[in-house]
Structure 1
């Protein structure tokens, strides 16, 4: 069974730039990991006007930073995940979270649904 991803764009984050909110199976995973006052990923990096954003999944695994706590990632650690595409599956694994956050599980998405969600969120942003 696949996990389900949903993206939302917050018009202005606390840094006066739009932020992306990430829900997996209905839980806002990045916000929970960064805690109150932290931030998720910047919309311009996740959903750019042209080209691939941070969440684009290819056959090459890469680490993606998705946010940081209020005290900054340099202090307490960033929220990051390895994103990779394996055929019809997109996998998020090997999470790194701020030191006081609970560890996150691996997630597996249907690649077609994943790509459709990135495209839907990009249309909303632009």
Structure 2
């Protein structure tokens, strides 16, 4: 059985531009791992227009930053994970984060479903504002 990924974008707020939130199996991974008030990566960086985003999985493992605590990642550390495609599975493993006791476990996603969710998030530009 594979884990279920959902990618959302929080609209811009008083302190931060639009940011990415990642849900796995119905749980907000960022909030769980960095605490309330933490933030995800900037949506514009995580979901770039016309380029493959950092969440795209390839056979080459890549460390992806997914969040930081309210005090900033420079203070307490960033939440990051290694994303890699292994056959028909996308693995998230090797978590690093500011609260070691709250780091997520390894997640395995069906590659087709994973690719579809990342493509859906990359194609949804509703959170962008005109310059």
TM-score normalised to the size of structure 2?
0.89
SS in structure 2 opposite 1:125?
coil
Counterpart position of 1:7: 7
Q: How many residues align?
A: 126
Q: Partners of 1:17 and 1:66 in 2: how far apart?
A: 15
Counterpart position of 1:50: 50
Q: Is the 8 A contact 1:9 1:125 kept in 2?
A: no
SS in structure 1 opposite 2:41?
coil
Instruction: Give CA deviations for 1:74-97 in whole Å, capped at 9, x if unaligned.
Output: 221110000000111100001001
Q: Partners of 2:100 and 2:2 in 1: how far apart?
A: 28
Q: Which 4+ stretches in 1 moved above 3 angstroms? A: 13-16
- Unpaired segments ≥5 residues, structure 2: 127-131
Name the Cα RMSD after superposition.
1.5
Counterpart position of 1:83: 83
1:30 deviates by 1.1
